[in-house]
């Protein structure tokens, strides 16, 4: 989201292409290849990114994206070791979408009943699995 659909800088454009590779990582070889490519990209553009003006929102978003990636890297590939972890957040987003849809059907609930409803919803969803 932060990298934008049409980044203005060459660094942003290359990073966008690189991040699209994430969904195709299926094993440790792919993971190591991604990490090597990202490290090369980071080494190539880190000095350039530091010189970008702070007044541009696009440049700030590029810096945010890099910070997000660097902080997420240690935990980004747990799904390769554990089959119970989904590689994307699609399943989780689907669950929340269903929850919001059901919750909106019960708009008149008091705060106490809303909390109870959410607890029951989560309990029953987990029980069905």
Q: In the numeric block, which tokens belong to residue 77?
A: 């590939």
Residue-by-residue pLDDT tens, the chain, 129 positions? 666 677 778 888 899 999 888 888 999 999 999 999 999 999 999 888 888 877 776 677 888 888 889 998 998 888 888 887 777 767 777 778 888 887 788 778 888 988 898 888 888 877 765
Q: How many residues does the chain have?
A: 129
Phi, psi of 37 (to 5 degrees): -65, -40
pTM of structure? 0.67
Long-range CB pairs of 77-82, under 8 A, 24+ apart, other chains included: 77/25, 77/31, 80/25, 80/26, 80/27, 80/28, 80/31
- Tell me the CA distances in angstroms from 82 to 65, 77, 85, one per residue in order: 26, 9, 6
Answer for the pair 2, 64: CB distance below 8 angstroms, yes or no.
yes
């Amino acid at each position: 989201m932060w990298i934008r659909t049409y980044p203005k800088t060459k660094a942003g454009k290359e990073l966008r292409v690189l991040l699209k590779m994430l969904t195709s990582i299926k094993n440790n070889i792919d993971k190591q290849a991604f990490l090597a490519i990202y490290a090369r990209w980071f080494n190539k553009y880190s000095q350039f990114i530091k010189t970008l003006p702070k007044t541009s929102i696009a440049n700030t978003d590029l810096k945010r994206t890099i910070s997000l990636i660097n902080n997420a890297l240690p935990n980004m590939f747990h799904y390769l070791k554990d089959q119970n972890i989904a590689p994307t957040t699609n399943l989780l987003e689907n669950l929340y979408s269903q929850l919001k849809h059901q919750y909106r059907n019960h708009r008149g609930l008091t705060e106490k009943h809303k909390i109870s409803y959410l607890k029951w919803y989560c309990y029953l969803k987990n029980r069905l699995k």
